[in-house]
Amino acid sequence: KQEVTQIPAALSVPEGENLVLNCSFTDSAIYNLQWFRQDPGKGLTSLLLIQSSQREQTSGRLNASLDKSSGRSTLYIAASQPGDSATYLCSREGLIWGAGTKLIIKP
Amino acid sequence: NAGVTQTPKFQVLKTGQSMTLQCAQDMNHNSMYWYRQDPGMGLRLIYYSASEGTTDKGEVPNGYNVSRLNKREFSLRLESAAPSQTSVYFCASSESGGLDRYTFGSGTRLTVV
C-alpha cells in the first residue's frame, strides 16, 4: 500500500529561523508531489508542485525539493514568520496524503 | 473571486438521513475531487472526476455517490448517513488530473448524530 509520512507531527520554533519539513513516500514511481498549507478551519492552499522530472521548486521564501530515489521531499522555509504558522501537508498526485506537520512560529 | 465554492459550510444530520454536498468551480478546470479529512489524519479521496462525464472511486467511496452535473459542478451525496461519516469534506479542482496544482473549497463540516 502506498503511503506518505510526515515527520514531525508538530514543530515549534522561534521567529526568524530557517526550517525544514519532511515528507516521505513509498514507491518511487511518482508523477508529482504537492505541498499545501492549511490554516485552522480553512481549506487547503497549494504552495508548490514538483513534477517527477524536476528536483525543486521555489516560491518566495519557500523551496521544495524532490528526491525520488530516496522517496523524500522537503519543504524549506527561510526566515520564518508568525504568519507561517499553519499545518503543512504533502500529497503525491493528490491521491495519497500525509497527515501533516503543525508548525508554530513563536514571535 | 475565482475559486471553488462549497455549500453548505455546516450540517448536522440524523443517522439514516440523506443529503447532497454541492461544489462548483469557475476556473474552467477539467478535474474535480471530493475528500474527507478526519482529526489527525491526512485527506482521503472519496471520488474524483477526471473530466466532464466521468467519475471514479477513490480510496473510501463506500456510502457515497457523486454526480458531475457539468464542467463546473460536482456533487457528493450521502444516501443514508452514518456516524462514521462525521468529518470535514473538501472539494477541489485542477486543470488536468493530478498534474496541476489543486484549488480547494473551504470545506463542509458534517456531523451525523
Residue with more model confidence, A78 or A1: A78
Q: Which residue of B has its CA nearest to A6?
A: B42
Q: What is the mean pLDDT of residues B56-66?
A: 96
Residues of A whose CB is below 8 A from B102: 34, 36, 44, 46, 94
Question: Would the CB atoms of B42 and A99 count as touching at under 8 Å?
Answer: yes
- What cell was used for B34? 471530493
Assess whether pLDDT exceeds 90 at residue B41. no
For residue B1, pLDDT over 70 is answered with no
Q: Give B42's pLDDT tier (boundaries 50, 70, 90).
A: confident
How much is the pLDDT for B20? 97
A67 Cβ contact list (under 8 Å, min separation 6)? A55, A73
Find the length of chain A.
107
**Percent of chain B whose pLDDT exceeds 70:** 98
**For testing contact with chain B, the best of A31, A97, A101, A102 (most B CBs within 10 A):** A97
For residues A82-98, average pLDDT: 95
Residue B103 contacts A where some CB pair is shorter than 8 Å: yes
Pick from A32, A45, A99: which is nearest to B40 by CB? A99
Q: Is B55 exposed, middle or buried (0-12, 13-18, 19+ CB in 10 A)?
A: middle
Q: Evaluate whether B94 touches A94 at the Cβ level (below 8 Å).
A: yes
Q: What is the DSSP string of A68-107?
A: TTTTEEEEEE-S--GGG-EEEEEEETTTEE---EEEEEE-
Which chain B residue shows the shortest CA-CA distance from A5? Answer: B42
Residue B71 has pLDDT above 70, yes or no: yes
